[in-house]
Structure 1
């Protein structure tokens, strides 16, 4: 029932009650007044004049008061009836919705949106409660979206800072070699390529809102170039550790401390990467992948290994079917069990370190997934931690 109809019915009922009460008061007062002598004279049928009993002064006062009561009751009771109708209307139809809306406004003012506004009636105030609940739900949805965007921006900024650290470390190492006069022939080209890579990375990260939006731009890259980059990056990120780099099926079981003939290859010569079929070589060849994303993953994995390794790091690069596999092992304490079981999460630090945000492995997993692959973490008993990044490629 609508508010207008409800108020009209209550008003009619209260007015009827007040009129009945007024009629009862009027009749009662009239009955009391009739009990008093009227006074005056009366003419009989035969013309005889009879003098009636005169009312006393007290009876006249009471009779006048009863007259005033009759007059005022005709005004007072209808007014009280309308007032009673308003009070009943507020109590029955308005009080509960208004209290609910007031409480909702106070909670929203305190930034508390974790509640629901019940619809207590089907009238206009009930519809207002329903509209208020819709507004609260939309506000909650907007706040959650803003919070998600803030968290996403936080993740993006942390990933941006984290992923720039390793290229900057490589550049600083190369500059140091140049100052000391110990740089190799590729030092200048390395400076140029890493500077260009940082510039491209800044442009890409500035144009996206989420890590999941990171584009994948595949191009053909020589396997020899990948191996050279892994060797040089490992040498710059872990200058005090013994680093082993190998490629092919034989590298699958390589762990720190176990030397392969690949490690003894002549400088500038790289072993051939083997395909999935045993004994079938694909040659140094090329693979189709995003070179920048591959280096980002490699630098993060090598950076983690360099932080936790005690003396050695082993790197394996191989191709199976349509996937390129990069495995990095170290002889450190290994990954926490929760990290191995649940996988990397944003800002998940293996140890408290103000210089690291805990985003490296999470970014690696996101990049591998964007590249059609996976990131696997495990602990090798007696040999520390092992991280394997898989990229989908087209040879």
Structure 2
């Protein structure tokens, strides 16, 4: 029964037609025989029954047979004559009529069983998609052509759902970035405005001493440099975010060397120890080197800021990607994972004056862009941030096939 239910539409309609024609042929034959028997009963009322019985008893079974002769319509009543004509019609055209009826019934059954339900499901799905309602499932499980169409329609709906989620996430990310820009530009502008107002108020009266004036100018220059760093960070972020992924063959050893160079430079500036470990079987992964190094720069920089003595980095080869793990021996996160990954999250006013609180946020965006994720947790003796990047094989790369 399962095989019949999953037959293709062409085979299904041929099967329905064959069954309908066969059933019609059998019913037509039965109706014709029954009509002949009824017709003989009608004629029996208008023949010489005694003579017919006498001839029937005298008959030689091997030489001849005795049949009831056809009676003229004029000798029969109107009802019997009309009924006899209907019996003639059934004997002549009964099989044809029943076969035609079988074809009609089989076609209706084919529509009910194979066409109506999937068409209704597709119509419902189209209406829901038109109404921007993607929370539904197409419950048609047959594996015929319409079943495959429903399956593809369901996949299209799932893809639309993913695209909508990505679009909303991009909109939310853009809103967060706008808020981050407004937040980080407002502080230095406020400081610069305050210094300018003080100089405009006190310089004409020469009430500011040279030392105070130099201090204000140095602080103003520091805020200007902060704005320059912020704008450079935004420029680099926008350039890398808009740039498509460029996944090239990479190995853990090669990426570890690049990350080690970044870590050593940052650790010297922060006056902290830096260690890196690599693990894997030398498998080739398709990864975006620049994106991974940018994430490593952000995570190692954050770790060095909060570490007491050292930061440890582990670069691990996974079955389908790469994991970058950064641990520090600081006090760990005192906020939730969600809050830690939001934009302009800083540890205090002094930290806010030097850093923008975008490192974790940008790192998570880059991980998602590489079809990965970013996790944050506290471990014994510090914090641990784990970034995963999925290996994405470019379409231009043809997978190697086994030689026979």
CA distance 1:100–1:360, change in 2 (3 Å): farther
CA distance 1:202–1:161, change in 2 (3 Å): farther
* SS of residue matched to 1:33: coil
8 Å CA contact 2:299, 2:326 repeated in 1: no
Aligned to 2:112: 98
Q: List runs of 5+ in structure 1 lacking aligned partners.
A: 39-58, 120-129, 227-246, 249-269, 278-287, 303-312, 347-358
CA distance 1:193–1:291, change in 2 (3 Å): farther
Structure 2 CA distance for aligned equivalents of residues 81 and 96 of structure 1? 22
Residue among 13, 21, 30 paired with 2:34:
21
Render the CA deviation track for 1:295-315: whole Å, top value 9, x for unaligned.
Answer: 76699x79xxxxxxxxxx956
Structure 1 CA distance for aligned equivalents of residues 45 and 139 of structure 2? 63
Aligned to 1:175: 189
Instruction: State the TM-score, normalizing by the size of structure 2.
Output: 0.49
Question: How many residue pairs get matched?
Answer: 273
Aligned to 1:137: 151
Render the CA deviation track for 1:280-305: whole Å, top value 9, x for unaligned.
Answer: xxxxxxxx997864676699x79xxx
8 Å CA contact 1:373, 1:391 repeated in 2: yes
Structure 2 CA distance for aligned equivalents of residues 169 and 26 of structure 1? 101
Residue 90 of structure 1, CA deviation: 5.1
* SS of residue matched to 1:377: strand
Structure 2 CA distance for aligned equivalents of residues 165 and 296 of structure 1? 20
- The 5 Å alignment of 1:1-395 reads 2-35=15-48, 62=76, 65-76=79-90, 82-89=96-103, 91=105, 94-95=108-109, 97-99=111-113, 101-111=115-125, 112-118=136-142, 130-163=144-177, 165-181=179-195, 182=216, 183-207=219-243, 272-276=271-275, 293=295, 314=306, 318-320=310-312, 325=326, 327=328, 334-335=335-336, 364-365=363-364, 367=366, 375-378=375-378, 386=383, 388=385
Structure 2 CA distance for aligned equivalents of residues 145 and 168 of structure 1? 34
Residue 76 of structure 1, CA deviation: 4.9
CA distance 1:102–1:361, change in 2 (3 Å): farther
Larger Rg: 1
Instruction: State the TM-score, normalizing by the size of structure 1.
Output: 0.50
Structure 2 CA distance for aligned equivalents of residues 165 and 316 of structure 1? 32
Q: List runs of 5+ in structure 2 lacking aligned partners.
A: 1-13, 52-72, 126-135, 196-215, 249-254, 277-289, 316-324, 343-357, 390-404
8 Å CA contact 1:378, 1:386 repeated in 2: yes
Structure 1 CA distance for aligned equivalents of residues 30 and 176 of structure 2? 81
8 Å CA contact 2:272, 2:311 repeated in 1: yes
* SS of residue matched to 1:116: coil
Structure 2 CA distance for aligned equivalents of residues 64 and 36 of structure 1? 21
* SS of residue matched to 2:378: strand
Residue 136 of structure 1, CA deviation: 0.1
8 Å CA contact 2:28, 2:96 repeated in 1: yes
Residue 95 of structure 1, CA deviation: 1.7
